[in-house]
């Protein structure tokens, strides 16, 4: 990790601001936000930019600084946060977005709440182990966030349905309190039942190949059908469930070291061809550990997970079903003796 540093990445006031890349984004706009943010420490890096812990109006915030070539991604993510009613405990909370620049130089930022525990991927790789209670709670909260995204709210202000299109453990953050929020809406598309339009109309191959559903890999997904897009999210969600189960401590067995799904077969940034051969032709899925089947709670999670990664997209559970399943498990777990035993041994 880089040394903490303080810097302002923004140009001084008094310059004429424009988006600079000819993408159609209007001339700018709010310069106060950009001037007010202090970047303190790099905390993450993705395909579209760098994320910094920063300070804004005396609060810790996360500042996502987009690469100058990624204006479309900045515009899409900003507009989803700004235009849709996006307040939900399990969706990353948006604070502001800004673009500024002169000539060929453009700075695009998105400011959100900062979560010091970082992504679920980092959390699972670094945390010692999860109790069964922690595991169910993390997954239930992530499912609530995903179900919120997928569901249209008709009203004023309403919210279109959204398909995320890049669900993975690096795009889910862990909040203090052991719950998750869904982040990185850079590839999300919206759907409104009023006009039946998907906006923007997405390319088939976009996102993270390791998490691509079979129908993306074999090009059979119909990108004009919104439900197909949410079904592909559910496949990716199932892989996240598997990653989380790896770190769950169950009675009489040790948790397995964290690893990415398909890591034994697929190197970093695998090709579509390799993933297609694994997922479609060999019908491979991540291995279900035998000890997960020794508890009725984790067995139920396994059953839900395998229903979500089925080859036939229409057979997968919806995010609403998954949310309900995990809510029932969470409630029953809280009332159970296992919960007491976990608390007693403080594991
Ligand atoms: P990209 O679109 O480039 O993939 P992300 O929004 O996924 O960018 O962020 C990249 C990484 O930065 C995440 O995987 C996570 O580790 C970290 N990160 C992003 N947002 C936050 C935040 N609000 N708080 C803490 N860490 C964050
Ligand atoms: Mg990301
Ligand atoms: Mg992204």
pLDDT of 7 above 50: no
Pocket test for ligand 1, best of 39, 42, 43, 51 (most atoms within 8 A of CB): 51
Name, in order, each residue with C-beta under 8 angstroms of 64's C-beta and a sequence gap of 6 or more: 48, 49, 50, 51, 52, 109, 110, 111, 112
Q: Decide: helix, strand or coil at residue 108.
A: strand
Tens of pLDDT, residue by residue over 246-288, are: 999 998 888 899 999 999 999 999 999 999 999 999 999 999 9
Q: Which of 166, 254, 269, 330 is catalytic?
A: 166
pLDDT of 345: 52
Ligand 1 atom closest to residue 184's alpha carbon, by position in its atom list: 6
Is 301:135 a contact under the CB 8 Å cutoff?
A: yes
Ligand 1 atom closest to residue 112's alpha carbon, by position in its atom list: 23
Please, what's the largest Cα pairwise distance for the chain?
66
Tokens for 108, please give them. Answer: 């695009």
Is 174:120 a contact under the CB 8 Å cutoff?
A: yes
Closest protein CA for atom 23 of ligand 1: 114
Is 169:77 a contact under the CB 8 Å cutoff?
A: no
**Residue 181 CA from chain centroid, whole number:** 7
pLDDT of 18 above 60: no
pLDDT of 3 above 90: no
**Residue of 193, 182, 233, 218 whose CA lies nearest to 80:** 182
Of 6 and 329, the one with more pLDDT = 329
Closest protein CA for atom 8 of ligand 1: 46
pLDDT of 38 above 60: yes
The answer to whether 166 is a known catalytic residue is: yes
Q: Is the N-terminal amide bond of 157 cis, ω within 30° of 0? A: yes
Beta strands in 82-224 (DSSP E): 94-102, 105-113, 161-163, 172-175, 179-182, 189-192, 197-199
Whole-number average pLDDT of the chain: 87
pLDDT of 229 above 70: yes
Which residues on neighbouring strands pair with residue 191, listed in sequence order? Answer: 161, 198
248 φ/ψ angles, rounded to the nearest 5 degrees? -90, 130
**Residue 255 CA from chain centroid, whole number:** 24
CA 90, 94, 96 angle in degrees (round to 5)?
175
pLDDT of 29 above 60: no
């Amino acid at each position: 990790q880089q040394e903490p540093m303080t810097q302002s990445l923004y140009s001084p006031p008094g310059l004429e601001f424009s988006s600079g890349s000819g993408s159609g984004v209007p001339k700018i706009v709010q310069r106060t936000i950009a001037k007010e943010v202090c970047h303190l420490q790099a905390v993450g890096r993705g395909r579209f930019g760098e994320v910094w812990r920063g300070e804004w109006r005396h609060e810790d915030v996360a500042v996502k600084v987009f690469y100058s070539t990624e204006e479309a991604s900045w515009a899409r993510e900003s507009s989803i946060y700004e235009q849709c009613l996006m307040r939900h405990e399990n969706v990353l909370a948006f604070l502001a977005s800004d673009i500024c620049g002169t000539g060929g130089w453009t700075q695009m930022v998105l400011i959100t709440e900062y979560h010091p525990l970082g992504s679920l991927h980092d959390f699972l790789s670094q945390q010692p182990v999860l109790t069964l209670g922690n595991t169910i709670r993390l997954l239930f909260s992530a499912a609530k966030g995903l179900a919120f995204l997928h569901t249209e709210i008709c009203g004023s202000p309403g919210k279109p349905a959204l398909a995320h299109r890049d669900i993975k453990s690096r795009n889910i953050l862990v909040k203090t309190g052991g719950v998750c929020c869904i982040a990185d809406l850079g590839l999300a598309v919206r759907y409104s039942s009023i006009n039946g339009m998907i906006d923007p109309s997405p390319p088939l191959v976009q996102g993270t190949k390791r998490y691509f559903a079979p129908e993306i890999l074999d090009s059979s997904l119909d990108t004009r059908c919104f439900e197909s897009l949410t079904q592909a999210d559910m496949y990716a969600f199932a892989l996240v469930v598997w990653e989380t189960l790896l770190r769950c401590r169950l009675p009489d067995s040790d948790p397995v070291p964290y690893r990415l799904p398909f890591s034994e077969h697929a190197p970093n940034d695998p090709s579509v061809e390799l993933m297609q051969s694994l997922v479609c032709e060999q019908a491979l899925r991540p291995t279900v550990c035998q000890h997960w089947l020794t508890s009725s709670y984790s067995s139920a999670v396994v059953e839900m997970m395998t229903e979500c990664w089925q080859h036939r997209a229409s057979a997968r559970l919806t995010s609403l079903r998954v949310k309900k399943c995990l809510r029932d498990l969470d409630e029953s777990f809280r009332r159970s003796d296992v919960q007491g035993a976990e608390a007693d041994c403080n594991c």
